[in-house]
Amino acid sequence: MKKKTCYVTTPIYYSSGEVHIGNSYSTIVCDVFARYNRLKGHDTFFLTGMDEHGQKVEEAAKKNNVTPQEFVNKMAEKTQAAWQMMKITNNDFICTSQERHIKVVQKIFEKLLANDDIYLGVYEGNYCVPCESFFPKSKLVDGNLCPDCHRPTTVVKEETYFLRLKKYEKQLLQFIKENPDFIQPESRRNEVISFIEQGLEDLSVSRTTFKWGVPVLSNPKHVVYVWIDALSNYLSALGYLTDDDSLYQNYWVNGDEVVHVVGKDILRFHAVYWPIMLMALGVPIKFKLYAHGWWLMREGKMSKSRANVVYPQDLIPEYGLDALRLFLVKEMPLGNDSIFTYERFFEKYNADLANDLGNLVSRTISMVNKYFGGTIRKTAKIYTEFDQQIQELAEKVIKQYINKFDNFRFQDGLNAVWELISRANKYIDETTPWILSKDETRKEELENVLYRLVEVLRLVAIMISPVMVDTCETIFNQLGISNELQQFDTLKFGLLNTTTVVSKAEVLFKRLEIEKELAKIEKAKEKEKETTPTDNFKPEITIEDFSKLDLRIGKVIECKKDPNSDKLLILQVEINGKVRQIVSSIADVYKAEELVGKNIVVLANLKPTKIRGHLSEGMLLAASNEEQLEVLETRKVTKGTVD
């Protein structure tokens, strides 16, 4: 019989950012879903990757003096290393600069053009580079600011291709209304419906002002808009429109379950543009969308400039991978935001792991050793109401767990598992094995208690295995559970017959002294502040450092581009009646003739040096913000007037 299939995808990550606990969350929940489906025996394909094209990356690469390809390769390597550290079990890692992806995007674009779902026109409006999004004037905040990130937008007027969104507006709305679980949770679905009901504008889907993108095959001066490029990854990775599209046939066309997981910030792209693209391509809309909220800090969003970004690499070596995975998955309800604090992380570590789970494992193993020499057998009798209750609860929790995990409600599923863990700890106190052990006639009753504890732990270990990928192994090993009894279809109370546990339980989670841990974090933060520039500023300097600079006004009397370099301009600058040659790598921002005649600021006491064979006697000053770089010009102030 053909296995049920499951295809699960993360958003593909921008190459401009680093992996922190926020974006790790998207990947970890997908990993949990993929592992859960594999546990159920489903044929599962889990995809993640990198969104590498766009103006933002082109500019970042320029800033770092590397090619965009070099830049994105490095980021892909770093991201993959982070996923490995988090034991992410993706089956493929797609990068949008890979040939296999580019070819499919080009075919998709041409297919849409041929169907007249894409047409050529002129776009006039505003563009937000950090968000890689177009906005009509009417949507801007305070006339010019991006409605999403509140940064200044730039005005663009260019020839562009448009994707017909309007044409599909009604069809999409009908689809969403007929498929109530297409977008989850419901609050997000309602947002999408109201967005569509306000009316859709055709979407500009190509750019001509930069190069780092997928060229439109039939008109290569255009590159495909990054979102069209990026969304296509979900199909290009499956070989859609290629000679071998067996993955596409298996996991999409004939697939049983397709799940796209996205953060709330990118819902619109997935809930509006993507299904419309599929409708236009004639590809069935097979996917469900799960939109999750954000991990926030007390101050709001995590950001480097606030020095409040939490990196998994900082937590995992100290507290373990499973503690982080469990915390992220169990503390965030689907759809809502959650605030990350170290206090909460440590409190939950102590409560869920050291007290509840860790304690249950160590108490159980030590009693099995103490009272039965390490081996217990199944006893099916019910001696007390507590025996009955724990068994019933285990059965109820298994049902809840499956229902919640099937529907991506991991927090609820895990809460149910923890109810069972707590109940098992309480069961020890209720049945008092230390008293039973004193009475030889109650030995069987005692064995029955311990059997039930081991059996509950076996079930718990199976249920947490998609989340706590190392701990489940340790529990199985410590309890001596055979491979067959670790499988999903053995999630039934009472299947264990006999087992021999390890003679000494290894402590799974040591209780943390919260104050001490918080102090450690504070210290590490201080150190980081000292060594890393905030907001990408360079480390502080003193006024003494600054006063060493000799700044002079110079007039550019001649300026030429170095014929052997794309970057260098060679300027002749007059300072105090003498002409100096200054070489500057700003040819990608300024044309040579633009600078002639300008009064600029020159660092005059910089040691002369040769740049690409040209003598440079000083440095012209320029300043930058996130969007642009500008040469500093001076204006003379005379008798109250400015000229």
Applying CB under 6 A, the residues found at the interface with ligand ME8 are: 11-14, 17, 22-23, 25-26, 51, 230-231, 262-263, 265-266, 294-295, 302
Q: Which two tokens stand for residue 477?
A: 């090993």
Measured from the CB of residue 267, what is the shortest distance to ligand ME8 in angstroms?
9
Buried b (16+ CB within 10 A) or exposed e, 580-595: bebbbebbebbebeeb
Which of 15/126 has CB closer to ligand ME8? 15
Q: What is the DSSP string of 571-614?
A: EEEEETTEEEEEEES-TTT--HHHHTT-EEEEETTSPPEEETTE
Measured from the CB of residue 441, what is the shortest distance to ligand ME8 in angstroms?
58
Measured from the CB of residue 615, what is the shortest distance to ligand ME8 in angstroms?
44
- Cβ contacts of residue 6 below 8 Å, gap of 6+? 33, 34, 37, 42, 43, 44, 45, 251, 255, 256, 257, 258, 259
Measured from the CB of residue 14, what is the shortest distance to ligand ME8 in angstroms?
4
Three-state helix/strand/coil letters over 6-30: EEEECCCEECCCCCCHHHHHHHHHH
Measured from the CB of residue 448, what is the shortest distance to ligand ME8 in angstroms?
46
Which of 23/465 has CB closer to ligand ME8? 23
Cα distances from 122 to residues 207, 208, 305, in angstroms, run 11, 11, 38
Q: Which residue minimizes CB distance to ligand ME8? A: 263
Which of 11/466 has CB closer to ligand ME8? 11
H-helix segments, 154-251: 169-178, 186-197, 226-231, 233-236, 246-247
Measured from the CB of residue 21, what is the shortest distance to ligand ME8 in angstroms?
7
Measured from the CB of residue 208, what is the shortest distance to ligand ME8 in angstroms?
22
Measured from the CB of residue 91, what is the shortest distance to ligand ME8 in angstroms?
17
Which of 287/295 has CB closer to ligand ME8? 295
Which of 148/159 has CB closer to ligand ME8? 148
Which of 40/53 has CB closer to ligand ME8? 53
Which of 240/493 has CB closer to ligand ME8? 240
Cα dihedral 175, 180, 181, 185, rounded to 10, equals 120
| Strand ranges in 52-130 using DSSP code E only, listed in sequence order | 92-95, 118-128
User: What is the number of H-type helices and E-type strands within the chain?
Assistant: 23, 28
State the number of CA atoms in the 13 A half-sphere of 161 facing the CB.
25
What does the radius of gyration of the chain's CA atoms come to, in whole angstroms? Answer: 31
Which of 39/104 has CB closer to ligand ME8? 104
